Amino acid sequence: MKRRIVGVLGAVGVAAAVLLAGHRGQAQPESPDIQTVLAPGLYVFQLRLDRATCTEGFTSGYVTSFFAAIDGTPGSRAMDMRLLNSAFWPEWTLAIGTDGTITGVSHQAGVTGPERGENTFEVSHDGRKFVGRGSRSWTQTVNGQRTRCRVFYDALLRRLYE
């Protein structure tokens, strides 16, 4: 009896693997509501700054790396991303378009009202990674006046393991 159960479980596992492999190989999802480009998991999210409207503390070419946990239902067009090592932009909402483009939006932590900053990016699939552009804005004092500052960056999102 024990061998029969193990045999059945093994056959079920092989069947599941075949189904998953077939699903991954599909060029188009079966339903427009299902996406196949982004799965929940652990990722690295990197930003390379290239220009800013307020130059205090800004260095062109500077790269910042974040550990990103992406949570959600596989196939969903909406997911959440948490940057585990970001004090200012820890919570993100991700939207996956029908063309596979991923848009991320975050609001500055610890700030409310009209001075609260916003951070957005848009990336698309490029081999084993997602690349694109983004920008963030926030309010700070520059030369004694409250000023809305903006930084522009190249964005990279890559899964830590396959």
Full-model pTM: 0.78
Per-position b or e across 27-39, b if 16+ CB within 10 A of its CB: eeeeeeeebbebe
**Can you tell me the distance from the alpha carbon of 115 to that of 148, in angstroms, rounded to the nearest whole number?**
8
pLDDT value at position 161? 83
**pLDDT surpassing 60 at residue 14:** no
Task: Say whether pLDDT at 86 is over 80.
Answer: yes
Residue 33 confidence class, pLDDT cut points 50, 70, 90? confident
Mean pLDDT score across all residues of the chain: 83
The residue that leads in pLDDT, 59 or 49, is 49
Q: 143 falls in which pLDDT band (50, 70, 90)?
A: confident
Q: State which H helix or E strand residue 45 sits in.
A: strand 41-52
- Percent above pLDDT 90 for the chain: 66
HSE-up of 89 (CA within 13 Å, CB side)? 23
Residue 156's SS3 state is strand
Model pLDDT, residue 31: 67
